[in-house]
Structure 1
Amino acid sequence: MNFNNIDKQIIITQAGEGNTQINNFPSLPPQLQTNPFTPPQPRKGGLFGREEELEKLHQLLQSGKNVCVVSGMGGVGKTGLVREYANLTECTSFFTGGVYYIDARDRQNMAAEIIALTKWRFKAELPADLSTQQMVKACWQAWKGQTENVLLILDDVSGLAENIKTYLPPTDLVSMRLLMTSRETPDKRIAEKLELQVLSEAAAVDLLASIIGQSRVDQEPEQAKLLCYELGYLPLALELVAYYLDDEDYQDLSLLAMRGKLQEKVKHPSLSPEQVPGGMQAQRGLQAAFDLSWDELKPEAKHLACVLGAFAASPVYWGFVTRIYQQLQGESFNEDNLKDRWLKSLRKLHLVITVEENIYNLHLLIHDYFSQQFKQHSDYSQIKQVYCNVFVDIAGDVEQSSNLETFNLIEPHLKKMIAWRKSNENTQLAYSLNQLALLYESQGRYNDAELLYLQSLDISKRQRGADHPLVASSLNNLAGIYESQGRYNDAELLYLQSLDIRKCQLDNDHPDIATSLNNLALLYKLQGRYNDAESLFLQSLDIRKRQFVADYSDVAQSLNNLAELYTLQGNYNEAEPLYLQSLDISKHQLGNDHPNVATSLNNLAELYRLQGRYNDAEPLYLQSSEIRKCQLGADHPDIAQSLNNLALLYYLQGNYNEAEPLYLQSLEIWKRQLDAEHPNVATGLNNLAVLYEVQGRYNEAEPLFLQSLDIRKRQLGAEHPDVADSLNNLAELYRNQGRYNDAETLYLQSLEIWKRQLGTDHPDVAQSLNNLALLYHSQGRYNDAEPLYLQSLEIRKRQLGADHPSVATSLNNLALLYESQGKYSEAEDLAQQALAIYQNRLGNQHPNTQNAAVTVKLLYVMGLLHCNKETLISILQALAQQANFPALNTETALTLLEMIESNPEHLSSIREYLQQQTEASDSDT
């Protein structure tokens, strides 16, 4: 039995008010759940005439160099080749560690793509203070732990000559193969090269026949050959022309007539090979195929093609297209026509490719062609303006919980809108930059987010002046980034500036002032400045009550945040009615099934958990989880929060087998939806490690603690308080393993971080002092332990109040130290104080109360029997065995101690037994 009370950091994710306010528009794609790096499916029907190239590519990827580039002109089929290869059995059998695909076109920062993949694959973060080049090196270092062969495909890389060296894997990364496609030729010293040529005549004819039918080719074999020649034997050009011929309106068109149509499109008097170089011939044939397909389109389909050309060269979510048309056409907009007629006509001619339901893509060359047509369209300015307006609205949909796939569908198009708007600096541009920053923040890309927030702030200042409310909003959002990074002093300065501007420019009761007060209070709560936080929370609540009716949702939010503060202070009786009020308002305003109601239920359950009211907490956690599943989907990050908190409840009840699968489910959801390097993933790893530790599964716990620590260091910085939490928990593991020197080093590091970041009087500093004292206590270094226990106790009294449960923990641990030193009278007095606090604040059924009751009874009975603790516990174990108790736990220990205390016969017989033992020992001596 262990009657010590130890402060262990198990992280609970609660929902206070966020720092960035966003609008809600139902325009974003649903949260996707697939692997965002899965290679796309190959061309239906396979490739023609590429058998030798596929075999050669497979051989090159097994050669000495770990980089290979497939090069060739646009339209020659490089993308088709690598996609075909990625789906071959020979490829997947050899690269058993996985095949990953990144569409690199229109991506200016290849390093960011490699970093994103690495973070997703290993569910881990990189240190935020590294340069981009250092981050790429760290990525390759992470892949060295992958023993199975891995293939990474970067498709359509530009700037190969200038950029390749910055993101090449090191030569000693033997399990990795990097396969790129590019129109440029690489340096043969650093990469294997497969230069893809145009198709042979026979393969080109076979490709044509596979689409239009062999019978049409057989009717005009020579014309088929000439047609393929005039198209330069390029697969893309051949496919476009073949799908044109396959259209029901042209199935009777001869190949000779088709050649005539193409010749009209080529802007040159002759197509003879003597007069036109082969490469130019191929490109002119491709241009002619584009023009021919374009002429086939109705004006409405051409208009849609121009709208698609306005997007960035990345996959397009159909919902974005329909929003543009809703603004362009107003009430006359007919989505059925747009999709079932005009989109269908583009797909029929193979100009648009379906990636998956409601997500479409264009070949890069087709995208370029559509873009050129867009620039020449009479509606160019109108389409461009509406595109920008729509993406300003879409920017408002960005959530801090956006997953990686959602990020990839929004980011390139939002960046294009911003690029268009940069020449006209205004508040809309500042807002768009702010929302793109929020998108980066959702992926933990704090450095990218900070840069954009700073740009937004700078524009707002220039456009509106340094004292404008919009500037206050920018300062608020930038402060939120600094708060997330643990840069509390920087955050406080900006929050105060934001608050000052709002106080000067707005009425005293303006809602934005309430928001500023609330956010500053949240920061002070993190810093342990509870009195300052309470004052601000109350001011914010008062404004919201005056501005809105008493049951408005912002009032519910303020009540929730104040309740969280009181919970941290151990003022549970004050917190409960506030949580209940917040819950009632949310239900009344939003309905019983709203996600905010789920949050309120979760937080109330958390209060009951802290009070040891486990039976009250469990149904609330379950209700919260069910609402979130119904409203948000089973894979939403908030579901992970619910599973995590329910797992913690089961952990505290000792139901370890029920807790573990919930922790694992929670962790997997966070990894899939938020990236493997997200701080929430670090929380999930930490909590799972704590569970394994208490089960004695130390070898499983340690790597999880280390992973959690690494993520926090990379994402939050080495000085973040969460890093101190991880160091503390790892130290606790080492203490339990008897690795005292390792534990002491980590405890001291943790203590120093908390002191520097939070101040010497923060409750977390008290926790660190307590745990370091516990280590010294375990080592018998009583003189070192006592002053630390006393410092911890004094901080907790000052910061939390003399009757806080953490004060009781300090009193209890100090009592156990005095007991170890034989100071039984002092120990019993402190233990009684601890028990009284626990009974008053937590109730008699709470585990801490029962443990404290055991400590008090132990000390009292030790005094009656004049024996030490070890002797008394041995007696209790013997009595438990005689009474057929299954184990000596808290409940049975209390029962036996009360029996000894209250029964003179038992007391007398035990005294007699102890006397006999003493005499026997003296006789032996």
Structure 2
Amino acid sequence: MDSSDRERTKLNPPTGIPHNLPYSGVIKFVGRSETLSTLHQKLQERERVAICAIAGMGGIGKTELALQYSLYHQQQSTYPGGICWLQAGKIDLGTQIVNFARIKLDLQPPDDWDLEKQVSYCWRHWREGEVLVILDDVGDYQAIESYLPPAELRFKVLVTTRRQSLGEFEQLNLEVLSEEESLELLVSFVKEKRIEREINEAQQLCRDLGYLPLGLELVGRYLKRKQDLSLAQMRQRLGLEHRSLQKRSPDMTAKRGVAAAFELSWQELDESAQELGCLLSIFALAPIPWGLVEQCLSEVDEEDLEDVRDEALLDLSLLERLGEGSYQLHQLIREFFSGKLEQLVEANQLKGRFCQVMVVEAQNIPDEPTQRDIAEATPIIPHLAEAATVHKNWLEDEDLIKPFVGLGRFYEGQGAYLPAVEWREECCLEARTRLGNEHPDVATSINYLAYLYKLQGRYDEAEPLYLQALALLKKLFGHKHPNVAISISYLAGLYCSQGRYDEAELLYLQALALLRKLLGNEHPDIATSIHNLAYLYNSQGRYEEAEPLHLQALELRKKLLGNEHPD
């Protein structure tokens, strides 16, 4: 595939092949023709299932190579069964696979199945023909193993990774560009005469950057903007700022070359652009919904913020636009901005704002999310996880468990119980560590974990947790408190699920009586408590007793919440 073929791919994309390929913003893709041919040969292996890993250092162009290969073969209709692009290590892979199958293939796995069963259903019912599945930026084989497609020759799997030994795959190690290819890449940004005029300096500049595509592109874009800057002056700036670039260690040169290129762009940013770049580095290494950035900087005029983004970060190739309202930092740029963040006086303030926004987003995830709720929350989840882990020290005490609760709801609502349990358990641990063993949020986190165990049928593990939470709430608030009554209802719900109806009924009645005494007869919690009792009677076949209670709860909710409330 030559460059003209690749350019036609961008101009005339075919229709009919289901795909979710991201946008490629390269002006000219150079130096990888033989590698692309080798990659195709490996993926067209007929003797065994083809899984090929593109490996190499950060900034080497692994993702771009995979994307260019995919775009070309989308044009050629090589994979009529579809091209599925998955971001490893971000949102759960199973969620991405199911979303692709629903949107692109019109498959509808049963909603009441857990996530692994839904993924298996999608693979079994996938569109006919050869299929290309790309897993981008894989760091751990175990994280993808259970989501790989079945061992059928029609499925071709392409992995990009920094690791040299990820798994038993066909591996394609991506090397830096040659000097000739590096100069060709520079010429795509800077006029050829300008390079020819200082060819020796251009060759040395490529060496200074370690022939790394990312560094070459950034410097090329910088030179394009600086028409009067000679290549000798460019090299002098690089050398003055980062003398370590002169070290020729192949393991270190490229990384430092990139840092030096970033530093050049950083010096061109005004204070507001620098602050924005630093704020973006607080987000996870994932697509960033721009609305979240606006919330973090709510005091800044929206149009002014867009100008900083478009005219500074995007213009200097420090930020990538993925699609409408979605942006992302390259990993190495993010690391660079993160280092600059720690030098800012406002660093703690920015981290605090980020966490406040994530708390609000976490609270927007309902207890029982619909498919629409899941779809809306999906782009936020990596950033919510970042707040709950990397930046947890900037969460206020009263907000500490909220990101964990939101993450638990997101995965629990899809039947993805393994990650849900991990977040619920981590929530309990963090609450105890920060707040101590005797705090209302500790009881809340315990109740959430118990509920998840109940959903999984792990009743023996759920019951002691419910009892523990109830005892803690009684100790903190006394026996006559709404939180105690609600916790009693949770325990009753467990007994109902186990068929321990007599015990459940006593507890439901006790909770209802306590809530009426504390809240009166007209309160949403009263309606919920009456509904719980009605559900118990219904489960026992005591329909004549259940019906009036259902009606009573319904009328009370209409009175309190109106006729158009979800409850």
TM-score by length of 2: 0.76
How far did 1:540 drift? 4.0
How far did 1:405 drift? 4.3
The aligned residue for residue 217 of structure 2 is 239
- Mapped pair 1:40 → 2:25: no
8 A Cα contact 2:515 2:526, kept in partner: no
Q: How does 1:898-913 map to 2 (within 5 A)?
A: none
CA distance in 2, matches of 1:443, 1:175: 29
Per the alignment, in what secondary structure is the counterpart of residue 212 of structure 1?
coil
Q: Which amino acid aligns with 1:284?
A: R
Q: Which of 32, 42, 62 is equivalent to 1:50?
A: 32
Per the alignment, in what secondary structure is the counterpart of residue 261 of structure 2?
helix
How far did 1:519 drift? 4.2
CA distance in 1, matches of 2:414, 2:314: 33
8 A Cα contact 2:101 2:122, kept in partner: no
How far did 1:279 drift? 2.7
How far did 1:496 drift? 3.6
**Cα deviation 1:891-920 (Å, max 9, x = unaligned):** xxxxxxxxxxxxxxxxxxxxxxxxxxxxxx
Q: Which of 383, 387, 390 is equivalent to 1:413?
A: 383
The aligned residue for residue 369 of structure 1 is 336
User: What percent identity do the matched residue pairs reach?
Assistant: 31
The aligned residue for residue 142 of structure 1 is 123
How far did 1:219 drift? 2.5
Seen in structure 2, the aligned counterparts of structure 1 residues 427 and 148 have a Cα distance that, compared at 3 Å, is: same
Q: Which amino acid aligns with 2:27?
A: G
8 A Cα contact 2:102 2:108, kept in partner: yes
CA distance in 1, matches of 2:204, 2:509: 73
How far did 1:76 drift? 0.7
The aligned residue for residue 253 of structure 1 is 229
Q: Which of 147, 152, 167 is equivalent to 2:133?
A: 152
8 A Cα contact 1:143 1:176, kept in partner: no
**Cα deviation 1:117-176 (Å, max 9, x = unaligned):** 56775421498579x7xx69x73993486541111101111134x656555555x42111
The aligned residue for residue 95 of structure 1 is 79
CA distance in 2, matches of 1:457, 1:499: 25
CA distance in 2, matches of 1:84, 1:391: 35
8 A Cα contact 1:517 1:536, kept in partner: no
Per the alignment, in what secondary structure is the counterpart of residue 466 of structure 1?
helix
How far did 1:254 drift? 0.8
The aligned residue for residue 155 of structure 2 is 176
**Cα deviation 1:172-194 (Å, max 9, x = unaligned):** 42111111001112368x31111
Seen in structure 2, the aligned counterparts of structure 1 residues 256 and 456 have a Cα distance that, compared at 3 Å, is: closer
**Cα deviation 1:834-880 (Å, max 9, x = unaligned):** xxxxxxxxxxxxxxxxxxxxxxxxxxxxxxxxxxxxxxxxxxxxxxx
- Mapped pair 1:514 → 2:486: no
CA distance in 2, matches of 1:553, 1:364: 50
Superposition CA RMSD, Å: 4.0
8 A Cα contact 1:72 1:195, kept in partner: yes
Seen in structure 2, the aligned counterparts of structure 1 residues 341 and 522 have a Cα distance that, compared at 3 Å, is: farther
Seen in structure 2, the aligned counterparts of structure 1 residues 472 and 127 have a Cα distance that, compared at 3 Å, is: same
Q: Which amino acid aligns with 2:281?
A: G
8 A Cα contact 1:69 1:192, kept in partner: yes
Seen in structure 2, the aligned counterparts of structure 1 residues 110 and 538 have a Cα distance that, compared at 3 Å, is: closer
Choose 1 or 2 for highest CA Rg: 1
8 A Cα contact 2:139 2:166, kept in partner: no
How far did 1:487 drift? 4.8
Q: How does 1:733-812 map to 2 (within 5 A)?
A: none
Per the alignment, in what secondary structure is the counterpart of residue 304 of structure 1?
helix
More relative contact order in 1 or in 2 (CA 8 Å, sep 6+)? 1
Per the alignment, in what secondary structure is the counterpart of residue 76 of structure 1?
coil
Q: Which amino acid aligns with 1:534?
A: E
Q: Which amino acid aligns with 1:279?
A: D
Seen in structure 2, the aligned counterparts of structure 1 residues 449 and 419 have a Cα distance that, compared at 3 Å, is: same
8 A Cα contact 2:21 2:83, kept in partner: yes
Q: Which amino acid aligns with 1:211?
A: F
Q: Which of 291, 315, 323 is equivalent to 2:295?
A: 323
Seen in structure 2, the aligned counterparts of structure 1 residues 514 and 104 have a Cα distance that, compared at 3 Å, is: same
Q: Which amino acid aligns with 2:86?
A: I
How far did 1:276 drift? 2.4
8 A Cα contact 2:284 2:382, kept in partner: yes
The aligned residue for residue 221 of structure 1 is 199
Q: Which amino acid aligns with 1:513?
A: D
The aligned residue for residue 185 of structure 2 is 207
CA distance in 2, matches of 1:312, 1:208: 31
**Cα deviation 1:219-260 (Å, max 9, x = unaligned):** 32222221111111111101111122222xx22111111111
**Cα deviation 1:62-98 (Å, max 9, x = unaligned):** 0134210001111111111111111114675221100
User: Which deviates the most, 502-511 or 429-438?
Assistant: 502-511
How far did 1:301 drift? 0.4
Q: How does 1:629-708 map to 2 (within 5 A)?
A: none
Q: How does 1:259-298 map to 2 (within 5 A)?
A: 259-268=235-244, 271=246, 276-298=248-270
Q: Which of 89, 95, 109 is equivalent to 1:124?
A: 109
Q: Which of 495, 517, 535 is equivalent to 1:523?
A: 535
Seen in structure 2, the aligned counterparts of structure 1 residues 148 and 257 have a Cα distance that, compared at 3 Å, is: same
Q: Which amino acid aligns with 1:379?
A: E
The aligned residue for residue 344 of structure 1 is 311
How far did 1:267 drift? 4.2
How far did 1:277 drift? 1.6
8 A Cα contact 1:70 1:181, kept in partner: yes
Seen in structure 2, the aligned counterparts of structure 1 residues 451 and 234 have a Cα distance that, compared at 3 Å, is: closer
- Mapped pair 1:443 → 2:414: yes
How far did 1:39 drift? 1.3
The aligned residue for residue 175 of structure 2 is 197
How far did 1:111 drift? 6.0
CA distance in 2, matches of 1:177, 1:342: 38
8 A Cα contact 2:527 2:554, kept in partner: no
Q: Which amino acid aligns with 1:139?
A: S
CA distance in 1, matches of 2:491, 2:233: 64
CA distance in 2, matches of 1:243, 1:471: 63
How far did 1:298 drift? 0.8
Q: Which amino acid aligns with 2:135?
A: L
Long gaps (5+) in structure 2? 1-16, 441-471
Q: How does 1:79-118 map to 2 (within 5 A)?
A: 79-89=63-73, 93-106=77-90
**Cα deviation 1:588-625 (Å, max 9, x = unaligned):** xxxxxxxx6xx99xxxxxxxxxxxxxxxxxxxxxxxxx
- Mapped pair 1:360 → 2:327: yes
8 A Cα contact 1:54 1:85, kept in partner: yes
CA distance in 1, matches of 2:489, 2:187: 63
8 A Cα contact 2:19 2:82, kept in partner: no
Seen in structure 2, the aligned counterparts of structure 1 residues 476 and 309 have a Cα distance that, compared at 3 Å, is: farther
8 A Cα contact 2:209 2:258, kept in partner: yes
CA distance in 1, matches of 2:191, 2:235: 17
CA distance in 2, matches of 1:344, 1:474: 54
How far did 1:218 drift? 2.7
Q: Which amino acid aligns with 2:42?
A: L
Seen in structure 2, the aligned counterparts of structure 1 residues 516 and 286 have a Cα distance that, compared at 3 Å, is: same
CA distance in 1, matches of 2:295, 2:484: 30
8 A Cα contact 1:520 1:533, kept in partner: no
Seen in structure 2, the aligned counterparts of structure 1 residues 197 and 541 have a Cα distance that, compared at 3 Å, is: closer
Seen in structure 2, the aligned counterparts of structure 1 residues 296 and 410 have a Cα distance that, compared at 3 Å, is: same
CA distance in 2, matches of 1:342, 1:264: 28
CA distance in 2, matches of 1:141, 1:542: 42
Seen in structure 2, the aligned counterparts of structure 1 residues 406 and 141 have a Cα distance that, compared at 3 Å, is: closer
Q: How does 1:850-869 map to 2 (within 5 A)?
A: none
The aligned residue for residue 536 of structure 1 is 549
Q: Which amino acid aligns with 1:296?
A: E
CA distance in 1, matches of 2:214, 2:473: 54
The aligned residue for residue 165 of structure 2 is 186
Per the alignment, in what secondary structure is the counterpart of residue 407 of structure 2?
helix
How far did 1:362 drift? 1.5
8 A Cα contact 1:475 1:497, kept in partner: no
CA distance in 1, matches of 2:268, 2:54: 33
CA distance in 2, matches of 1:457, 1:276: 49
Seen in structure 2, the aligned counterparts of structure 1 residues 530 and 282 have a Cα distance that, compared at 3 Å, is: same
CA distance in 1, matches of 2:217, 2:143: 32
The aligned residue for residue 627 of structure 1 is none
